[in-house]
Amino acid sequence: MPSFKNGDVEIAYIDEGEGEPILLIHGFASSKEANWVGPSWLGTLTRAGRRVIALDNRGHGASGKLYDPVDYHTGKMAEDARALLDHLHIERADVMGYSMGARITAFLTLAHPQRVRSAVLGGLGIHLVDGVGLPESIADAWEAPSLDDVSDRQGRTFRAFAEQTRSDLRALAACIRGSRQVLSRQEIGAIGIPVLVAIGTKDDVAGSAKALAALIPGAEALDIPDRDHMLAVGDKVYKAGVLAFLDRRP
């Protein structure tokens, strides 16, 4: 698996297919495999004629693990994504992030607007501005001795998912404590590229897609019917909506 260093952090990634590049940024406690390969996004996008790049965020998957929350500021993770584009000599790419990855995508877009051709914000709506989605208390679920010691419903869900993906629980606890930044309505309103906000209609984490899209000039909202935060990731409506968005964006 290829990797590169951004400062002192090793970042693992995949780079497959040919055509216009799209960078994929996974969600919290996930990985490039769990978020994009397993749910068939990699195959869907490469078959559509795209070059697909996906990274493991710091603290996740095969990338370097850090244990200080300050190392997980969303701006720092956005710079990991920018550094990967630099490493691959990609001047500009479409970018799709899910959940925490959507937050990173928004920060990347604002910091380096010339590098992002369009943005898909999956699994994150108005909580990009108003609140941060998952409560910080979820960190307690990773620091508990075992899953049996976790009583909080969301905490149990994410602890079970993290164990399934063999994640570093200490790194995840630091990440959720350090990556809770929001953007102002003024910052969101300054985004000047095509944006699609895609959220499951049963998602109780992301906040409203339409409310966020209304703050971004020209943005579109996509409802993913009858899907919650976890199940929306691989949904066929989500995939079809993204492909159509990419085909019609300038």
Does an H or E element contain 52, and which?
strand 50-55
Q: With contact defined as beta carbons under 8 Å apart, do 137 and 155 qualify?
A: yes
The pTM score is: 0.95
Where does residue 52 fall: left (phi above 0), alpha (psi -120 to 50 degrees), or beta otherwise?
A: beta
Q: Strand 20-25 vs strand 3-6: parallel, antiparallel, or unpaired?
A: unpaired
Beta strands in 123-238 (DSSP E): 195-200, 220-224
**Going by C-beta distance under 8 Å and a sequence separation of 6 or more, which residues neighbour residue 213?**
195, 197, 219, 220, 221
Please list the pLDDT of the chain residue by residue as tens digits (250 residues): 899 999 999 999 999 999 999 999 999 989 999 999 999 999 999 999 999 999 999 999 999 999 999 999 999 999 999 999 999 999 999 999 999 999 999 999 999 999 999 999 999 999 999 977 677 778 888 888 899 998 888 888 888 888 888 889 999 999 999 999 999 999 999 999 999 999 999 999 999 999 999 999 999 999 999 999 999 999 999 999 999 999 999 8
**Residue 49: what residue type?**
G
Strand partners, 55: 13, 25
pLDDT tens for 126-142 read 999 997 767 777 888 88
Distances (CA, A) of 97 to 155, 172, 174: 22, 18, 20
Full set of structural domains in the chain with CATH:
3-128+181-248 (3.40.50.1820)
